[in-house]
């Protein structure tokens, strides 16, 4: 997987989840952060920091993204 195909999601504790960009784009909020016009840090670096979301919750969110990609379209 190439770096351009991934997004780094960072929890409040600083734990980093590297997920496929297609999976992260399941979230409309993350999609807007990564594709918004302008030179925002999220767009330039492919990283989104969530200072209010714990590692445990962000892990569940990442699992949901992959579940959604695999099963929600059917």
Distance set, CA 71 to CA 7, 10, 54, 66 (Å): 21, 25, 26, 9
- From CA 18, how far away is CA 6, in angstroms rounded? 6
Res 8: pLDDT: 94
- From CA 14, how far away is CA 66, in angstroms rounded? 21
- Write the CB contacts of 50 (distance below 8 Å, at least 6 apart in sequence): 9, 10, 11, 12, 58
Give per-residue pLDDT as tens, 59-74.
999 999 999 999 876 5
Mean model confidence pLDDT for the chain: 89
Res 52: pLDDT: 97
Strand, coil or helix: 42: helix
């Amino acid at each position: 997987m190439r770096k351009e195909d991934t997004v780094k999601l960072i929890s409040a504790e600083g734990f980093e989840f590297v997920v496929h960009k297609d999976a992260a784009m399941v979230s409309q909020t993350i999609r807007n952060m990564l594709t918004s016009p302008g030179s925002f840090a999220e767009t330039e670096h492919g990283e989104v920091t969530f200072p209010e979301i714990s590692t445990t919750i962000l892990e569940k969110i990442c699992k949901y993204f992959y579940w959604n990609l695999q099963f929600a379209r059917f």
